[in-house]
Homo-oligomer: A and B are copies of this chain.
Amino acid sequence: MNTFGVNFRLTTFGESHGPALGGIVDGMPPCIQLDMDSIQAMLDRRRTGRDILTSQRREEDIPEILSGVSPAGVTLGTPIGFIFRNRDARSGDYREVECHYRPNHADYAYERRYGIRDARGGGRSSARETVSRVMGGALALQALSHYYPDIEIQAKVTAVGRTGYPDVLRKLSEDVIHPELPDDEEVEMAMRNAVASAREDNDSVGGVVTCLVKGVPAGAGNPVFGKLHALLSAGVMSINAAKGFEYGLGHEMSFSRGSEVLDNFSPGFEPTVTGSNFSGGIQGGISNSMPIFFSVYFKPTPTIARSIPMPDRDGNVSEVCVKGRHDPCVALRAPVIVEAMTALVLADVLLPS
């Protein structure tokens, strides 16, 4: 199923090497003036992954909006259809592996699921699929900003391999007055080096993305299956290569005593509703107006530029080297996708239907 959300819904289509990818956003409220520059800026961030290291340049991803928006850029309340043409297919790179099962890729599982393997490359499981998510998330963010101008969603890479900001969630839990994502030149340099070093070794490396959301009003989410953090988890865990999710103080909560992580309410609810935020802005599955934050763990890019023994459909193994252009750290492009999925979840929960 290729739909995300219930009230604000994104449905996507498109293979990485077919004619186009795209989607439909259903549930966009009418009469919202879209800021096309902001939308394009999110799409550009996905393309270049410029959070840490700019990858090789490619053609721009410019959406063609086919419906739901007036010529002046105002939403009509009707579904917004959009497409991105595929210009840079290069399926030749992948030709060698067409009949081999690459490790940690979807090749084998996908073929067992569908009884067919998309001859045109990565199919639906390619990273390119995320362009439609970012478009959907950018539209969600426009709608959210219209109704809740204080909402800010910001994600960044907080670890690459063993370098990064190990205490990022604790700091966000404790600094309730001015919580910010960390930005230390030395650490950023170390992360850049970790990526560069993996590339030099024809290897890849994992990473972590942390997301901070401010301005969500209290009362968003549902107490049982629709817990706000369960929806966020479903959203970000659906991003390719995600292996884990934690919110608030996260896993460290498991290693703690209850008395160490109590978010006591502030007298008079001032200056913030609670005096600490180990809960990460969500209690009982419902937002309490404190900042929401969480981390997503990404595995290393599974394609590495080395000869690897791979079997074909008959189980016969050959050494194959996938030479295709790739980022060694899939987490680098993930922040804007995490932001997009977060915006889609919040739009689904907060917007009038």
User: Which residues does A use to contact B, with CB under 8 Å?
Assistant: 1-4, 6-7, 9, 11-15, 18-24, 26-27, 30-31, 64-68, 70-71, 74, 76-81, 83, 101, 103-110, 112-116, 118-120, 123-125, 129, 159, 161-162, 198, 201, 203-208, 218-227, 229-231, 233-235, 237-238, 240, 242-251, 253-259, 261-270, 273-274, 278-279, 282-289, 297-302, 304, 306, 308-311, 315-317, 328, 331, 352-353
Contact = CB atoms under 8 A, between A and B. Distances in A.
- Residue among A235, A244, A251, A331 having the largest count of chain B Cβ atoms under 10 Å: A244
Given A76-B114, A124-B224, A204-B258, 12 more contacts: A6-B6, A18-B66, A76-B118, A106-B283, A113-B221, A125-B285, A243-B249, A249-B299, A258-B328, A261-B299, A265-B311, A267-B317
Contacts of A204: 257-259
13 contacts: A14-B66, A30-B115, A77-B113, A78-B223, A106-B283, A113-B223, A161-B255, A162-B255, A233-B237, A243-B250, A254-B299, A261-B300, A268-B311
Contacts of A104: 258, 261-263, 278-279, 283
Contacts of A13: 24, 26, 66-68, 78-81
Contacts of A221: 109, 113
Nearest to A329: B258
- Residue among A79, A223, A279 having the largest count of chain B Cβ atoms under 10 Å: A223
A103 B234 contact: no
Given A67-B15, A104-B279, A258-B304, A218 B21 contact: no
A86 to B, nearest CB: 9
Given A3-B11, A258-B300, A253 B243 contact: yes
- Residue among A9, A13, A18 having the largest count of chain B Cβ atoms under 10 Å: A13
Contact of A250 (B201, B244, B247): B244
Given A66-B13, A162-B255, A238-B230, A125 B205 contact: no
Nearest to A129: B224
Nearest to A80: B13
Contacts of A257: 161, 198, 201, 203-206, 300
Contact of A234 (B11, B124, B231, B288): B231
List of 9 A-B pairs having minimum Cβ-Cβ separation, nearest first = A106-B284, A244-B246, A13-B81, A204-B258, A258-B300, A234-B234, A109-B286, A112-B218, A206-B254
Contacts of A108: 218, 265, 273, 283, 288
Contacts of A7: 7, 353
A119 B70 contact: yes
Contacts of A106: 223, 283-286
